[in-house]
Amino acid sequence: MSLFGFSFKPRKKGSAETAKDRLQILLAHERSSGSGTPDYLPQLQRDIIEVVKKYIQVEQDDVEIRMERGNELSSLEINIEVPSGKPKEEAAKA
Amino acid sequence: MSLFGFSFKPRKKGSAETAKDRLQILLAHERSSGSGTPDYLPQLQRDIIEVVKKYIQVEQDDVEIRMERGNELSSLEINIEVPSGKPKEEAAKA
- Residue scoring higher pLDDT (B41 or A79): A79
Q: Of B67, B47, B77, B40, nearest to A47 (Cα)? A: B47
Q: B30 and A44 in contact by Cβ < 8 A?
A: no
Question: Does some domain include residue A7?
Answer: no
Question: Does some domain include residue B58?
Answer: yes
Q: A1 and B20 in contact by Cβ < 8 A?
A: no
Question: Does some domain include residue A70?
Answer: yes
Question: Does some domain include residue B11?
Answer: no
Total domains in chain B come to: 1
Q: Are B23 and B56 in contact (CB under 8 A)?
A: yes
Taking the Cβ of residue A1 and every Cβ of chain B, the question of whether any pair is shorter than 8 Å is answered with: yes
Q: Give the ipTM of the model, two decimals please.
A: 0.73
For residue range B19-66, list pLDDT tens digits in order.
788 899 999 988 886 656 677 888 899 999 999 999 888 888 899 999
Q: B5 and A9 in contact by Cβ < 8 A?
A: no
| H helical segments located in chain A | 41-52, 89-92
Question: Does some domain include residue A75?
Answer: yes
Q: A21 and B35 in contact by Cβ < 8 A?
A: yes
Of A7, A34, A55, the CB nearest to B4: A7
Q: What are the distances in angstroms from CA B46 to CA A10, A20, A93, B42, B90?
A: 27, 24, 15, 7, 22
**In the predicted structure, residue A3 carries a pLDDT above the cut 80:** no
Of A8, A23, A25, the CB nearest to B25: A25
We report the CATH number of the domain holding residue A80 as: 3.30.1070.10
